[in-house]
Amino acid sequence: MTDLVSSGKISTSTLGESVRPDFPILERRFGPNPLVYLDNAATSQKPRAVLDALVNYYCDVNSNIGRGYYQLSMAATDAYEAARDSIRRAINAEHADEVVFTPGTTAAVNLLADTFGRSAVSAGDQVVVTGMEHNSNMLPWRRLCETTGAELVVVPVGPEGRVAIDRFAAALGPRVKLAAVAHVSNVLGTVNPVRDMIGEAHRHGIPVLVDGAQAVPHRPVDVRDLDADFYCFSGHKIYGPMGIGVLYGKRELLSRLEPYQVGGGTVKGVTLDEPVAYVPVPARLEAGTPHIAGAIGLAAAFDYVQQLGWTEIQRHDDLLVYAAIEALESIARVRILGDPAAQPSGIVSFVVDGIHPYDVGGHLDRHGVAVRSGVHCANVFIDTFGEVGTVRLSFAVYNTEAEIDLVRRALATVQPGFWTAEHPTERFLATDPATQNQH
């Protein structure tokens, strides 16, 4: 499989070096080392086009939306709604009012758990998730189940890191009121067969939420083709600003939701002695002043990736993933987690036998390489592997094969205790097993 690169089956990419000038932060150095940023699954860096969109908004248009009958406010309202429509087009939603802006994926899942969850799930019901979920798509459902007396069903994931469709199907039945599944694993980059999973769930009349946080930066997402009932993601992982994300929902489902938070922007009118009349979605679910600049910046981020082109982006991802696998397989004591042949999307996770992932991460940092090490907010999934954590390389359009080669060379000299010896109070190293795996 790793011969794919050396045999030339994956052709070289036009991205990488050519787009680096778009990202000002990549000029930073850490001592003698240029920044090698390989923690893109945590957050991606921002291109000038997105930074400009933010600055332009604040310089030219800044005012509050929907409440001001003056030109500037109307321009801000138009720009915010244009951003919503641009994201509708990017994910192929049918209607702009199916796109709700949230602060991110976590906020979107919590919104859904507190609205849809509270109305649809009661004692004796079930909510189905998979064993590879990020805590943000696990804990809101777990809490909902704990407070309602429902049962959280976790579809197990095998050590190869995939959700088997038959195991997922076996978990579905009349008691299940929702399935909430990751599109792409944030630990292994595994791509779940979400279209088929949604099809299975729909045969039972079960709606599905897809957590697309790690999918949207790497592949074109078509919510109608997937037939997703709900789909959420964070803007900051797709080169957009922090603090903005999206909850997509089919109109007939979203429009039935009660407001999540109440307050300004959610009401038609309020009197003291009559029931409150709320406005329709999406404003009904966006109480208070939204992140207007963030929405505009997110639309600019989608424009940016669309200009690069999804075909190029996916080719570039494949190239880097396979180059990373090839590099890691050449190093003694390195084990790649999951099934490298499963075509991971933009992410490769590994461990170095006998060396704590924090030591590996700290060692790479000394070479200017930024990676994530630990459990990646996916504690249950990491437990599947019996590891204390992994080191995760996650790629973006500006990463290069030369950076992967630097990682390979740096790993050749990694030693136990490099970083952890200097950070003895680190919670992760606590001898009490109950306090381990907190990160």
Catalytic residues, which ones?
377
40 binds ligand PLP (CB under 6 A): no
345 binds ligand PLP (CB under 6 A): no
346 binds ligand PLP (CB under 6 A): no
Shortest distance (Å) from residue 211 CB to ligand PLP: 5
77 binds ligand PLP (CB under 6 A): no
Burial profile 48-73: b = 16 or more Cβ within 10 angstroms, e = fewer: eebbebbebbeeebeeebbeeeeeeb
Please work out, in degrees rounded to the nearest 5, the angle formed at the alpha carbon of residue 72 by the alpha carbons of 69 and 77. Answer: 75
182 binds ligand PLP (CB under 6 A): yes
104 binds ligand PLP (CB under 6 A): yes
Q: Tell me the chain's radius of gyration from C-alpha atoms.
A: 22
Among 136, 266, 394, 399, binds ligand PLP (CB under 6 A): 136
Amino acid at 182: A
Q: Toward ligand PLP, which CB reaches closer, 134 or 439?
A: 134
Amino acid at 27: E
State the sign of the Cα–Cα–Cα–Cα dihedral 198, 201, 205, 210.
negative
400 binds ligand PLP (CB under 6 A): no
Among 86, 106, 192, 349, binds ligand PLP (CB under 6 A): 106
CA 207/CA 56 separation, integer angstroms? 40
Residue 372 pairs in a beta bridge with: 392
Region near ligand PLP per CB under 6 A, out of 64-72, 83-91, 130-138, 326-334: 130-138
Among 200, 211, 326, 365, binds ligand PLP (CB under 6 A): 211
Find out whether 283 and 266 touch, Cβ atoms under 8 Å. yes
39 binds ligand PLP (CB under 6 A): no
Region near ligand PLP per CB under 6 A, out of 163-171, 208-216, 301-309, 389-397: 208-216
Burial profile 378-387: b = 16 or more Cβ within 10 angstroms, e = fewer: bbbbbebbee
Region near ligand PLP per CB under 6 A, out of 132-140, 166-174, 263-271, 284-292: 132-140
Find out whether 181 and 120 touch, Cβ atoms under 8 Å. no
What is the binding site for ligand PLP (CB under 6 A)? 41, 104-106, 134, 136-137, 182, 186, 211, 213-214, 234
